[in-house]
A and B are shown apart, each in its own frame.
Chain A
Amino acid sequence: MSKIAELMLQEATQLLTTQAVDAVLAWRRGEMGYDPAPAFFRQAEELTDLVYNEFCGSNLSKYLLAASQKGERVAVFLKPCDTYSLNQLLQDGRVQRELVTVIGIPCGGMLDIKQIKDQGIKGVKTVTVAAGQVTLVTAYGTKVVPQAAVLLRKCTACKGNEYKIADLELGDKLPVPPGTDRFAQVRALEQMTAAQRFSFWQKELSKCIRCNACRDICPACSCEQCIFDNPQAAVAGKANANSAEEQMFHIIRAFHVAGRCTDCGECARVCPQGIPLDLLNRKFILDINEIYGEYQAGATSDAKAPLLKFDPADAESTIVSQRRG
């Protein structure tokens, strides 16, 4: 990882000093080693803060939206899964391709600091990943944990190490982390009774504090004006008739990106309440795959999303609904 970070620094310095771009979009060092944050670097001198490590899970694609509107030429570092989101933004016509320099950077799976802390590991200083094991040097000594136990939730369903769009690729591709079936939890829920599902979502969605983080982070949510920013919309939340009912916000949020969601998992990653929001998106993806054919949003920048097209021979809604019991 540190090798890649060096290559990134070299590339970024060159791009900024030659003024080939107005800004470099990457991660800035945080207070601790495990809290890097997305940042625009506009001066070569600022680049000392550029960092790339196992905690750079955030997807930088969405930040290109604002830059593209301002007409800024930006060089962005994208991990393989992030390139799907950029493709989707290009497909939606939200980012100007000619303003963006895409630099692909390898990723072997990002780590979740919360899960590391949950295992009772404190004072993390440095992290190294090798052969499925994570070695954590902490203030209290060295700890070794299996990578699968501390991976970010979204990285347990890795999309692979191929870049779907890149002008330049840095470093060698890294092995894909151990994966699980991304639809396993959706299918498990489908097997439950309606009452069980309702109580599952009651429990999860009643945790929601409507911070809008899931909306703000979502690279597919790219409207300039959002229905939820209108205080008159009234569809945002819902006053519960009994103590725990689900809120409408999440149905609308998930529906709005149905067919355009690349399953980047950012919504679930940023949720401060730990709601598995990606399940709603994955349900739509699974339905689309089953009813309208396999589709991976963002695999190319010129495909048409399944809800933006149709086939006269599509099944009738009611029939699909009845057959599925």
Chain B
Amino acid sequence: MLDSSEQETKTFEPLIVAFCCNWCSYAGADMAGTARKAYPANVKIIKVPCSCRVNPTFILRAFQKGADGVIIAGCHPGDCHYTSGNYYTRRRLTLLMSMLDFLGVDKERLRLEWVSAAEGNKFAEVMTDFVATITTLGANVKLRDLRCQK
């Protein structure tokens, strides 16, 4: 017999939003698909032109609308299609993670990873790992907006 809290974690399926850059990580997800590498279906991918297109507002909005974790995936440093976009992303996300932590929100809910178009394996690994982390953390309550619950 499981107690209610245990039951909850067993049935909890996190919602993960992945912002993937068009040139590397989105193609990396494709590669994972063609290579038949399985990764959890909890991950919902949103394609962006570049990881630096991701405004911090997008991330917060995803959390508001019920995402339990947000991951931003872009080209490896030095490989950006636009030469330097991901360097800006890195600075911004470092500060945003630190700010979430400062406000007492789990900073593990936000992640930045570099996945190239050839790294189908890495894409699947990163996503599996992230989903596992978020499943342990449980549902995102602190950043969820009641108005978005339908």
Hey, which bits of chain A sit against chain B, CB under 8 A? Answer: 186, 189-190, 194-201, 227, 234-235, 238-242, 245-246, 248, 251-252, 254-255, 258, 280, 283-284, 287-288, 291-292, 306-308, 310-312, 314-318, 320-321, 324
B66 to chain A minimum Cβ distance, whole angstroms, is 11
Are A284 and B112 in touch, CB under 8 angstroms? no
State how many angstroms separate the Cβ of B68 from the closest Cβ of chain A: 14
Residues of B within 8 A of A311 (CB): 87
In the assembled complex, B118 has its CB within 8 A of some CB on chain A = no
Tally of chain B residues near chain A (CB < 8 A): 38
A235 and B102 form a contact (CB under 8 A): no
Question: Within the complex, what minimum Cβ distance (angstroms) separates A50 from chain B?
Answer: 41
* B54 interface hit (Cβ, 8 Å): no
Q: In the complex, given contacts A251-B99, A254-B99, A318-B112, what are 8 additional A-B residue pairs having Cβ atoms less than 8 angstroms apart? A: A199-B104, A201-B103, A240-B146, A248-B64, A280-B102, A283-B99, A307-B88, A321-B98
Q: Give bound CA distance, A245 to B106, whole Å.
A: 14
Looking at the assembled complex, report how far the CB atom of A43 sits from the nearest CB atom of chain B, in whole angstroms. Answer: 44
Tell me the smallest distance from the CB of A220 to a CB of chain B, in Å: 15
Q: Which residues of chain B are within 8 angstroms of A283 by Cβ–Cβ distance?
A: 98-99, 102
Residues facing A in B53-72 (CB within 8 A) are: 56-57, 60-61, 64
Chain B residues contacting A316 (CB-CB under 8 Å) are: 90, 112
By beta carbon, the residue of chain A nearest B93 is A317
- The chain A residue with its CB closest to the CB of B60 is A248
Per-position 1/0 for B100-121, Cβ under 8 A of A: 1111111100011100000000
> Do A251 and B92 touch (CB < 8 A)?
no
Smallest Cβ-Cβ distance to B106: which chain A residue: A194
The residue from A239, A255, A292 contacting B147, defined by CB atoms under 8 A apart = A239
Q: Which B residues touch A241, using CB under 8 A?
A: 141, 144-146
Min CB distance B109 to A, Å, is 11
- Write out the residue numbers on chain B whose beta carbons fall within 8 Å of the beta carbon of A284: 95, 99
Q: Can you list, as one digit per residue, whether each of B71-93 has a CB less than 8 Å from chain A (1) or not (0)?
A: 00000011000001001101111
Nearest first, the 7 A-B pairs at minimum CB distance are: A198-B104, A310-B87, A197-B104, A239-B146, A317-B94, A239-B147, A317-B93
**B45 CB within 8 Å of chain A:** no
Q: Is the CB of A245 within 8 A of B94?
A: no
Query: CA of A287 to CA of B107 in the docked complex: distance in angstroms?
Result: 15
Set A197, A245, A306, A315: member contacting B102, Cβ < 8 A: A197
- Closest Cβ–Cβ distance, residue B78 to chain A (whole Å): 7
State which of A234, A245, A255, A307 has its C-beta within 8 Å of the C-beta of B142: A245
Interface centre among A195, A292, A310 (most CB of B within 10 A): A310
A238–B104 Cα distance when bound, in Å, is 17
Nearest chain B residue, comparing its CB with the CB of A292 = B91
In the complex, the chain B residue whose C-beta lies closest to that of A316 is: B90
